[in-house]
Structure 1
């Protein structure tokens, strides 16, 4: 399994254009899981989870990861095809779905969270330097051992569109 899954096809972009599918990716990033466990974790019915997993599977973003027998039935496990996604040419629908999924996760967070938006003027050179610094900060942060709570980090730096009168 490769470390990074490139998201480049229209089918893959469409698969990422729904908040529930984004939240499924968040959950599967933690560990492989079943439809029942994902439904309980996300507060979504099993039929919805099954549908969204099929869309993600058909797009090659998740795959089946084995089965286990439980009370006479068989549970199918799902996992990400790669631990990291690299989205080529992000689409507005996927970005909106990601932001919606993050908003849902923030709403369900059991502890206080940080959400701060700041606008500041930066030269192109300083913006590039700041972007590199943010990427390094996030990429170099080492994880605590298994069993500790999972935290999400969403970092973005964007130039505002100019308003013209």
Structure 2
């Protein structure tokens, strides 16, 4: 699988990712290269339907053929993501709201989750430093590779899948005027 990040900027890429099944297929392929039959089984769909949606992902540059393998006397094509982490281009026609909708679509009900909303005041330099720290954490081999985390547990290949959505955005929060009563 490709390790470099994939910069999203083309309308076809966003259109491809906006379909819930294509989003799920791309997330499944992040585990390892897979055939259409394997993907169909994983997402509970037909091979024909999956084949159509994989072609859309290939045409958008999000997925590519990886290698072929012999199966029951035939040859099957394996597919893999075209890049590692997905990143929006600075001039992308969509932004964080696109990722929030995608994350909401993949959240399972009733599981353990942590959702926190905090508002902080930061200078531009502090915001840039925070973004760099979060990118280092989220892109680290420790996080991506399922290495040991706090508590001594190792998720590995058998661990449950979790998503991490972190967003630093300028918030539209009204600024109160100074309180002259307590001055």
Q: TM-score range by the shorter chain?
A: 0.7 to 0.9
Structure 2: runs of 5+ lacking an equivalent: 148-155, 175-183
Distance in 1 separating the partners of 2:102 and 2:163: 11
Greater Rg by CA? 2
Task: For residue 159 of structure 1, report the CA deviation from its aligned partner.
Answer: 1.9
The structure that is helix-richer by fraction is 1
For residues 20-59 of structure 1, the aligned pairs below 5 Å read 20-59=21-60
2:81 is the alignment partner of 1:80: yes
Distance in 2 separating the partners of 1:48 and 1:95: 27
The equivalent of 1:116 in structure 2 is 115
What TM-score comes out, normalization by structure 2 length? 0.69
Alignment check: 8 A CA contact 1:13 1:94 kept: no
The equivalent of 1:92 in structure 2 is 94
- Count of residue pairs the alignment pairs up: 161
* Larger CA deviation: 99-108 vs 19-28: 99-108
Distance in 2 separating the partners of 1:92 and 1:63: 24
What TM-score comes out, normalization by structure 1 length? 0.75
Moved over 4 A (4+): none
Structure 1: runs of 5+ lacking an equivalent: none
